[in-house]
Amino acid sequence: MDAKTPVFPSPYDVKPPKGAEDWEGIYPYYLKFQPSRRPIEDRKFWFCDSQHWPMPFRPFDCIMVDFAAKCLGQYNTRHLLVPPANGVDYRILNGYVYFSPIAVEPSEIEARVPQFLERAGHYFGNWNDLLANWKKKVLGAIDELEAIGFKELPDVVDIEAVKSGKGLDDTYDLFNAYDDAIRLCYKIWQYHFEFLNLGYAAYLDFFGFVKGQFPSIPDQAIAKMVQGVDSELFRPDDELKKLSKLAIELGVADALKTGSVDEALAAVAKLPNGAKWIAAWDGAKHPWFNFTSGNGFYSTDKYWIDHLDIPLSYIRDYVSRLESGDDIMRPTARLIAERDRITAEYREMMDEEAKAVFDQKLGLSRVVFPYVEDHNFYIEHWAIGVFWRKMRQLSALLAKLGFWREDDGMFFLTRNEVRDVLWDYSAAWGVGAELRGTDYWPGEVARRRAIVDALAAQPPLPALNNPPEVITEPFTIMLWGITSEAVKRWTGADDGDGGLQGMAGSPGIVEGVARVLRSPDQLSELKKGEILVTPVTAPSWAPVFGKIAAAVTDIGGMMSHAAIVCREYGLPAVTGTGNASSKIKTGMRLRVDGNTGSVHILG
Amino acid sequence: MSAAPSLYTLPFGDISSADHARVGGKCASLGEMTQAGVAVPPGFAVTTDAYQAMLDHHGLRAEIERHLASIGSDDIDAIDRAAQAIRVRIRSHRMPDEVESAIRGAYAAMGEGMPVAVRSSATAEDMPDASFAGQQDTYLWVIGADDVVEKVRDCWASLFTTRAVAYREKNRIAHIDVLMSVGVQKMVNARAAGVAMTLEPTTGDRTRIVIDASWGLGETVVSGVVTPDNFTVEKVLEAIVARKISDKHVELVGDAALGSAVEREVDAARRSAPCLSDAEVLEVARLAKRLERQNKCPQDVEWAIDADLPEGRNLLALQSRPETVWSRKPKEKPAAYATGLMSIVGTLNNPIASRK
């Protein structure tokens, strides 16, 4: 290999797609590869995180990667002093985010160990108490977020504010509301990582021990030993299944089958048992319909609670499956028995000394792992869902005032530009003059929207610059499943026989027809028995797993959502193929081998 | 269906653990499997008492000892001459009446004219040694009481093949202490058959079950006449993790008219087709796993799929014996396992996926 040619291109040599030439102007300066920093940035290896951000950012949506990357880092770097690892640095290139882990200088690792032992030790030693407190903190932040509202400024300050000597106007509250929303979102992201890195570290330790005992053990077998069966992440889907069963029991299923949500609910309400079902439906909404069809990282995410047609369509699907005699409930007793069987059988193959160590590590993993799964419901689905709802309200309000034409215009501004707009509004209101932004933003928003659309037409590169000889950074491996092997796969030429290699996410082999989905809006296109091929799946896609024959993703490892759910449903899954969703076209026949992690295009 | 147990013959279902010494390793294992409810072709053991009765009746002990008294372990010609003489002596005598009638009775109870396999089942301290076990004879597709009796006697004689005698000389095993039991077992009409090991034989990996399988009777796999299909199954998940389908050019099948097993060409369509479906591979793996658990150590299992039995009940165990190579190796263990938080620190400093 020519020493001067990097394995992956330099970010400075990657051209934007047509129509997106001015993309850099829509993002804050610190998110971009600055020309003057080329020598520094080119020394680093950057990998694209299309697992979490498969689509280009609208400028406002950068808030999620800002907070996520910073808060992940702070726990490693400042709270826990994870010996070898600081955070992951991040940049945006052509609309997609690239990460680069920051290792700790080898000479400093030793000195961090005692601090890590004390700090991490406190968390591991008091896990359940701290976690109970965590739940309280998060629910408190959600309540605060829910209380936030955005109202059009009144013509005159309320008389009560005058008489009470408040001395402050409504713009003061408007700014507070906006700043509170951002602050609470920031708070929630800090909480998100409070336990996560430790949870993964304990799991990885268990994982490494079992691999040491059985070098050939499939990763999925280790995952199965610690995986939760009653994770709260499964609750929203379970609620829909219960509602479907109840609809049949109460004789309201037929009324649910047609029309809009309002029409269907009205039809149910007219029936003798209708009120009972509607009470159950309303009861399930809070909190379980705080569930996104994406991953919570985009302002475009659709949450069930705001789009009741999504859960209703799943219920309709479940009802028809129940009527045709399917058993749709998750077989939790069988799953627990299977988990225990697998654990016992591997344990039986160890010597006595190893068994004791295994028990200890498994015990810790099972204590910490529920957080790894459950946090996702509390943060990404529930709390972030409320945040987006509030932001959409504000965007719609500002649209009504004429700042942009469409209700979602605000998301084409960065979060700090939104403050400028609020100032524009406040100043104009205070002065009694016209808004200035109404002449500037509609055009600018349209221009930026066109750029983001143009960026979406070009998929991201898997990585930039030269990878390290061996990837040793623990969080890169744990959170993104990026290993030396994965990087090799990205660089490897096609094997020429229509084959794709990924991770063996869930065992089994099937052949079937591919359905390539690039967005959750396309979920309704899926037909029973098809093989789902997609960049990445989200927990709220759970209902479709009852329909498909297998899943293939571009991104993700053993603990990715698709792998977890496929193991639950007993479907083969191959994850982390890199580019299956662009190489495979809907209608192609595939052979998916979840035992070896290979996908073959048969024709 | 089976005859009453006697001093000289024991139906597999009647072999108790007290009988193991007089039925040899192979028959003891068939007895255990039968009693544990594993599907095994029915049959009976001709006990070592029958062999001893034969020796006693004709004064063969002294004769054998005389033939072997003067040979040295290096003199292969002398061993060959002595061994051949002993075999001729054993074959030239009739069985004692009570032994012969016991065998005929037990065979008749299986059904007159039933094709059977007659297999030697030697007893000796070193029986688990596979290299030794393979030195006695097996006769396939034997039909009729006369032939059964003759093959039982041939099995006894096979204790004195040149190789067997030389082996015992070299390992200082007293020839007369090694006794021979013989198993008479209903012949399987094998559509496919082979061997399953409950560990990966090249690495000793106990999480794997490795299956060699080919068309027809499993002898072609054991003897290496064909390159069999090779399947690797993850033992706990019970999932096929690797498969190599080979060109299986010949198969050994029973020829009722001829009264023997014959080797024949496999037609082109089947040669390179997998001889087991995925479901059958997993069935074989589950059988091997069950036998490993039952015997509490890794096993080497011979099995067959009987074309005459209905699907779901057509997989038969023919033999299960302890795996000997890896089981005897001392296990490598790390000096100490890292535990607790320091282990987590170690994991973070050196994550598994970066280890080589």
Closest Cβ–Cβ partner in B331, B339, B349 for A360: B339
Q: Name chain B contacts of A201, Cβ cutoff 8 Å.
A: 344, 347-348
The three-state DSSP-derived secondary structure of A145-187 is: HHHCCCCCCCCCCCHHHHHCCCCCCHHHHHHHHHHHHHHHHHH
Please, which pLDDT band fits residue B126 given cuts at 50, 70 and 90? very low
Q: Which of A376, A284, A298 is nearest to A561 (CA)?
A: A376
Question: What's residue B255's pLDDT?
Answer: 82
Phi first, then psi, for residue A99 (nearest 5°) are -115, 150
Q: What is the pLDDT of residues B187-240, one digit of tens each?
A: 999 999 999 999 988 888 999 999 999 999 998 888 778 899 999 999 999 989
Please tell me the distance in Å from B340's CA to the nearest CA on chain A: 8
The first and second tokens of residue B139, run together, are: 């006769």
Mean pLDDT of A150-158: 96
What is the DSSP secondary structure assignment for residue A461, as one 8-state letter? Answer: P
In chain B, CATH 3.30.470.20 covers 190-322
Contact criterion met (CB < 8 Å) for B207 and A217: yes
Q: What is the pLDDT of residues A87-105, one digit of tens each?
A: 999 999 999 999 999 999 9
Please, which pLDDT band fits residue B127 given cuts at 50, 70 and 90? very low
| A127 membership: H or E segment, kind and range | helix A127-147
Determine how β-strand A573-575 pairs with β-strand A550-553.
parallel
Of A457-466, B130-139, B280-289, the range with the highest mean pLDDT is B280-289
Q: Are B17 and B116 in contact (CB under 8 A)?
A: no
CA distance A535 to A532: 10
Question: What's residue B207's pLDDT?
Answer: 95
Contact criterion met (CB < 8 Å) for B345 and A113: yes
In chain B, CATH 3.30.1490.20 covers 9-186
Mean pLDDT of A138-149: 98
CA distance A63 to A298: 10
Starting at the edge strand that comes first in sequence, how are the strands of the sheet with A550-553 ordered?
A: A499-501, A598-601, A589-593, A509-516, A531-534, A550-553, A573-575, A503-506
A10 at B interface, C-beta within 8 A: no
Q: Name chain B contacts of A208, Cβ cutoff 8 Å.
A: 347, 351-352, 355
Q: Partners of A511 in the beta sheet?
A: A591
Longest dimension (CA), chain B: 77
CATH superfamily of B190-322: ATP-grasp fold, B domain (3.30.470.20)
Q: Name chain A contacts of B337, Cβ cutoff 8 Å.
A: 209, 353-354, 357
Q: Which of A145, A213, A149 is nearest to A354 (CA)?
A: A213
Please, which pLDDT band fits residue A559 given cuts at 50, 70 and 90? low
Mean pLDDT of B125-138: 50
Per-residue pLDDT at A350 exceeds 90: yes
DSSP code string of A500-533 = EE-EEEE--EEEEEEEE-SSGGGGGG--TTPEEE
Q: What is the pLDDT of residues B151-169, one digit of tens each?
A: 999 999 988 888 788 878 8
Mean pLDDT of A37-62: 94
Question: What's residue B174's pLDDT?
Answer: 81
CATH superfamily of A495-601: Phosphohistidine domain (3.50.30.10)
Q: What is the pLDDT of residues B36-78, one digit of tens each?
A: 999 999 999 999 999 999 999 998 888 888 888 877 767 788 8
B98 at A interface, C-beta within 8 A: no
CA-based R_g, chain A, Å? 25
Question: What's residue B128's pLDDT?
Answer: 43
Please tell me the distance in Å from B223's CA to the nearest CA on chain A: 29
Q: Which of A18, A102, A97 is nearest to A462 (CA)?
A: A97
Q: How far apart are the first and last CA of chain A?
A: 35
Q: Is 3.30.1490.20 the CATH number for B9-186?
A: yes
Q: Name chain B contacts of A106, Cβ cutoff 8 Å.
A: none
Phi first, then psi, for residue A327 (nearest 5°) are -100, 110
CA distances from A373 to A133, A176, A195, A494, A501 (A): 17, 33, 11, 35, 26
Question: What's residue A468's pLDDT?
Answer: 84
Question: What's residue B350's pLDDT?
Answer: 81
Q: Is A51 left (phi over 0), alpha (psi -120 to 50) or beta?
A: alpha
Q: Which of A45, A205, A360 to mutate to test the interface with B (most CBs of B within 10 A)?
A: A205
Q: Is the peptide bond prior to A287 cis by the omega test (within 30 degrees of 0)?
A: yes
Contact criterion met (CB < 8 Å) for A595 and B241: yes
Q: Which of A413, A353, A352 is nearest to A63 (CA)?
A: A413
Question: What's residue B356's pLDDT?
Answer: 41
B104 SS3 class: helix
Mean pLDDT of A255-266: 96
B1 at A interface, C-beta within 8 A: no
Mean pLDDT of A41-52: 92
A215 at B interface, C-beta within 8 A: yes
CA distances from B108 to A390, B135, B144 (A): 88, 29, 9
Q: Are A75 and A197 in contact (CB under 8 A)?
A: yes
Please, which pLDDT band fits residue B131 given cuts at 50, 70 and 90? very low
Please, which pLDDT band fits residue A329 given cuts at 50, 70 and 90? confident
Please, which pLDDT band fits residue A493 given cuts at 50, 70 and 90? very low
B6 SS3 class: coil
Question: What's residue B355's pLDDT?
Answer: 53
Which stretch of A111-115, A475-479, A534-538, B32-36 has the lowest confidence by average pLDDT? A475-479
User: Which ipTM was obtained for this model?
Assistant: 0.81
Q: Name chain B contacts of A487, Cβ cutoff 8 Å.
A: none
Q: Which residue has the higher pLDDT, A355 or A486?
A: A355
Please, which pLDDT band fits residue B136 given cuts at 50, 70 and 90? low
Closest Cβ–Cβ partner in A85, A209, A342 for B236: A342
Q: What is the pLDDT of residues B93-110, one digit of tens each?
A: 999 999 999 999 999 999
Per-residue pLDDT at A196 exceeds 70: yes
Please tell me the distance in Å from A457's CA to the nearest CA on chain B: 34
Q: Mean pLDDT, chain B, as a whole number?
A: 87
Closest Cβ–Cβ partner in B237, B343, B348 for A474: B348
CA distance B39 to B315: 7
Domain coordinates of chain A in residue numbers? 11-120+461-478, 124-211+372-456, 232-332, 495-601
Contact criterion met (CB < 8 Å) for B240 and A478: no
